[in-house]
A and B are shown apart, each in its own frame.
Chain A
Amino acid sequence: MSWVIETEKLGVSFQTRQGTVAALQDINLKVEPGQVFGFIGPNGAGKTTTMHVLLGFITPTTGSARLLGTDVRLPLARQHIGFLPEHPDTYRFLSGRELLQFTGRLFGIRGRDLRRRIDSMLEEVDMTATADRRISTYSRGMLQRICLAQALINDPDLVILDEPTGGLDPIGRQQIRAMIAGLRSRGKTVFFSSHELSEVELVCDSMAILVGGRVVVQGKLADVVKPGQRLESYFMDVVRSRAPAGATHA
């Protein structure tokens, strides 16, 4: 089995003035191709940090990670990846269309291919009408959408989304869910974090729960959560049983 995401004994610690913070410990994630994988956990559990390691923003203190079989430290690993950050922001002096042109060029897409790709992406995120306005005039949700469009410009095989529905209205959330389903139907892999567990339940095939920098549960949603049980109540049970007594973690 070739994994789309594979981490081995991944650990990250940060040096702060107060000492060393172990943000991730011994993370062994395995994500199969064509799956929608929900990555959930309380605030500060290490979801964003894990994604940052996968994208090469930070090098792991211990262990290793591969995307589509390529070590994440190589830029090549990101050729077929799309990423939407937690607080997406971009060059506000560009128009939406110019942003997509820029990111398309970073992937080496040009000319007619690029134009066609941009038009279809704008359509998909419902931004065709506002594509030629400066991003500085966009609302939070519009910004989220254009950032999502730039994340998908290269038709990625793996899409990593850090809280993709944050800041979106119910219609926007619905669109994101539809988009994730669309990606899966085209054989893409989606790895996303979310605090909206009802949403995770709706779209995920597999999931992992991260608590305090450790993966405490990983598997197919159907195997993990018993029929009739809600993911939310399962999550609560797991987190409560894992949280050390008197923990004041954020």
Chain B
Amino acid sequence: MNTIFPIAYVVWLGLWRRKDAYVLLILMGAMLLVLSSLNVFGLGGKVVYIADIGLVLTWLFSALLAVQIMARELPAEQSRGTIHVLLAKPVTRFALVLGKWLGAWAAVSVATLVFYGTVAVLVYARGGHLPGPATAQALGLHITALAIITAITLIFSTRMNHDAAAAISLILTGAAFLVIPRIPEFVTSETGFTAGVMLVLYHALPHFELFDLRQWIIHDFGMVAWPVYTQILLYGLAWITGCILVAWMTFRRRHFSRGDRML
């Protein structure tokens, strides 16, 4: 178990040293540009809009980062051949999978914190403010959702190359965000096969809308009741655990001979 943290730490160091932090800067720049040009679109730069759009962008960027960062880790171990150095140590496949996930998730979480900070600063600059406790709650669930996204990506990255794993994970995450919450509306108007497929999807994909407290921040609804909050966290934890176990099972039986380097 004491191998998990060194592995996670190297993921983290790699992200910094390979200048991936620039991506974060570019995304922040994009966010600043969009938020400060709201005036131009006649929205008057109202604080509510800044917070709203800023948080939408934060969700979008953090999810993209989560998939991109996680999808690369295990495939890169194989294409570089470093997997052989790593697995020759008393490192279990489980520790490897868990360490990689932990490192990627920690990095994405820090990036998300930076995005929230950016939004908060911009809102303050326009004379508004983000409600502290509600924002903290929202951040907690947001980071939990990112843990699920990274864990789903981890599964695909155990058997696919970076691009394939990233593409599938993005499609699934996008579907879960955009389609799943609307399914109940569809299902009432559809019947038969389509409705069936929809229902299966509804239950098979994670409900990210539960983790999305943007409205609570923007409209200052106060805080989510703790029992509810805890239930959502537990739901997230179940997803994370399940995905990591599946990733471990698909990774456990993998062979690492030279042929795999060509993948």
Contact = CB atoms under 8 A, between A and B. Distances in A.
Interface of B is mostly: helix
A193 B259 CA distance: 20
A59 interface: yes
Contact of B256 (A58, A93, A151): A58
A228 interface: no
Q: Which 6 A-B pairs have the closest CB atoms?
A: A83-B88, A93-B17, A57-B256, A105-B6, A58-B255, A106-B89
B3 interface: yes
Interface in B48-102: 80-92
Interface residues of A, number: 37
Pick from B3, B14, B84, B255 the residue with the most CB of A within 10 Å.
B84
B126 interface: no
Contacts of B7: 106
B84 to A, nearest CB: 4
B13 A93 contact: yes
Interface of B: 2-3, 5-7, 9-10, 13-14, 17-18, 80-92, 253, 255-259
A107 B89 contact: yes
B82 to A, nearest CB: 6
Contacts of A103: 85, 89
Given A85-B84, A106-B89, A147-B85, A59 B10 contact: no
B92 A94 contact: no
Contacts of B89: 78, 103, 106-107
B90 A52 contact: no
B252 to A, nearest CB: 10
Interface of A is mostly: mixed
A94 B10 contact: yes
A130 to B, nearest CB: 17
A195 B3 CA distance: 35
A59 B255 CA distance: 7
A82 B85 CA distance: 9
Contacts of B84: 52, 55, 57, 83, 85
Contact of A78 (B2, B14, B88, B258): B88
B256 A90 contact: no
A75 B92 contact: yes
B18 A93 contact: yes
Contacts of A167: none
Interface string A1-42: 000000000000010100000000000000000000000000
Nearest to B81: A89
B90 A107 contact: yes
